[in-house]
Amino acid sequence: MNALDRLIAWVSPRSAVDRARNRLALKHYEAADKGRRLSGRARVGGDANGAMRGKQTASAEAARDLVRNNAWAAKGLACIVNNTVGYGITSEPSHPNKARAKRLREAFRKWAGSRGAHAAGQLDWFGIQALALRGVVESGAVLVVEVGDASGMSLRVLEREFLDTSKGAQGIEYDSRGRPSGYWIYDAHPGDPDARATIASTRYSADRVAHVYRIDRPGQRDGITWFAPVVLDLHDLDGYEDAVLLRAKMAACKVDYVIAPESITQGWTVSDRQEPGATEIVPFGTEIKSTPAPDSGDYVPFTKQRLRRTAAGLGISYEAFTGDLSEVNYSSGRMGWQEFQRNIDGWLWQMLIPMLVDRVSAWFLDYAVMGGILTRQEAAGVTWQHNPPRRAVVDPAKEYPAIRDAIRSGLMTLPEALRDMGKTFDVQMAEHAEANKELDRLGVIVESDARRGMNAGNSPASEPASPAGSAANEA
């Protein structure tokens, strides 16, 4: 007990007891200690929004600079987007009325595959998905605004800087339940040098805006760049590589010196500018000292360690991030890939699909009603099935037989297996039926025709009946 504790105990014994109890509690939780090791760490006691306020724009700018100028940052961003969205998340509407469902499905496929889906006419629906996810990873959040008209639905993809933070709560209005009710969005990017001097903001109803961001804390109303935990790591790696490169350049600037006999070096001087690889003759008696280039033997382990930190901070596997497969085999590679896939599933089903894909699907239903594809009452019975892109298979020779065995044993259904591959059961079966019909019409026999394969994997199957024969039998 120090002098202060003794004084407090003399004045207020109860306070002294509380002080000792609190000090004892701190010893059980080192994270609560404010000693030397944690003295430089900032502690934020506010909510999620208070912790981010004022830091989102600066951190987003730092991330964008990294993506522009750092190869590893660009690779990390591409790795997340390409593996999460890939060629796009497909959506299939269903309805009890099969004819209505088919019309709706065809209309949505036509819209999704056209550049009319994008307000600027540059991307289709799947390109919009990739662009939106890039904005979320790089900037922390993105706004997708429905701006269609009588000609059809179209979408704008906007960075979070489009929010007019002078209105509402950082540009967003909320109702009594805390749900967004409106967004104040600038007509042009505030940083656009070609925009007019005065940029006005317009209020958009929240039911026409998809605000996409990753929720990391309860009550969070906006996102922050996914590069926030790794900005310093990538900057440190850049600095280290510059230093190693400089050392390599210094080592390459080697000059050989020949000390000539005294009789032939009278009046000679040593040049103060030597070219790398040159041979210099110096006067007799000249003392030459050179410092050997420092060893760069720690470059590879340091770089690997820093890249592993970066991959962990971004939520991707080291192998997918770097392409370095030198230390993995099939089992370890598959385990690392499965862990990465679980992160992808979280980003898909906890962020991208509910915040963006579901919203766009609902908007399309409104346009389908206006276009007479189905009535408002029929629209109420529409359900959507969203299919992420097909997952890459590490070893098809091992994994495809395992899927087949799981289907045969009843542990997996064929629709479930197709969904895991990014396919839709109805579409896949329709394609099979169409292909088989065309093969029968042409009289072509191919080995891939399952109807001519093995019954239960044991005996050859019988020849498929011709369409005419089948009709006769049914009659």
Q: Is 453 helix (H, G, I), strand (E, B) or coil?
A: coil
- Tell me the pLDDT of the chain averaged across its residues: 82
Overall average pLDDT of the 267-276 stretch:
58
Phi-psi bin for 86: left (phi > 0), alpha (psi -120 to 50), beta? left
Span 394-442, pLDDT tens digits = 677 878 888 889 999 999 898 888 877 777 787 788 888 888 888 888 8
In terms of C-beta distances under 8 Å and separation of at least 24 residues, what long-range contacts does 145-148 make, across chains too? 145/185, 145/204, 145/208, 145/209, 145/210, 146/208, 146/209, 146/210, 146/360, 146/363, 147/119, 148/363, 148/367
Pair of tokens at residue 144? 């997708």
Please answer whether residues 132 and 356 qualify as being in contact, where contact means their C-beta atoms are separated by less than 8 angstroms. Answer: yes
pLDDT of residue 463: 52
Counting every residue, how long is the chain?
Answer: 475
Pair of tokens at residue 301? 């382990």
Span 8-66, pLDDT tens digits = 677 787 777 777 777 666 555 566 666 666 666 666 667 888 888 778 888 999 999 99
Overall average pLDDT of the 343-351 stretch:
94
Q: Residues near 158 by Cβ (< 8 Å), separated by ≥ 6?
A: 142, 143, 144, 145, 185
Of the candidates 462, 469, 466, the one whose C-alpha atom is nearest the C-alpha of residue 443 is 466
Give bridge partners of residue 46 from the DSSP assignment: none
Span 59-115, pLDDT tens digits = 999 999 999 999 999 999 999 999 999 989 999 898 888 888 889 999 999 999 999
pLDDT above 90: residue 267: no
Please answer whether residues 352 and 84 qualify as being in contact, where contact means their C-beta atoms are separated by less than 8 angstroms. Answer: yes
Helix, strand, coil in percent for the chain, rounding step 5: 50, 10, 35
Span 355-391, pLDDT tens digits = 999 999 999 999 999 988 888 898 888 999 898 887 7
Please answer whether residues 212 and 136 qualify as being in contact, where contact means their C-beta atoms are separated by less than 8 angstroms. Answer: yes
d(CA 58, CA 225): 10
Of the candidates 222, 129, 143, the one whose C-alpha atom is nearest the C-alpha of residue 184 is 143
pLDDT of residue 456: 42
Dihedral over alpha carbons 461, 466, 471, 473 (to 10 degrees): -40
Span 111-137, pLDDT tens digits = 999 999 999 999 999 999 999 999 999
More confident of the two residues 101 and 266: 101
Count of alpha carbons within 13 angstroms of residue 282, beta-carbon side? 17
pLDDT above 70: residue 271: no
Phi-psi bin for 360: left (phi > 0), alpha (psi -120 to 50), beta? alpha
pLDDT of residue 21: 72
Give bridge partners of residue 313 from the DSSP assignment: none
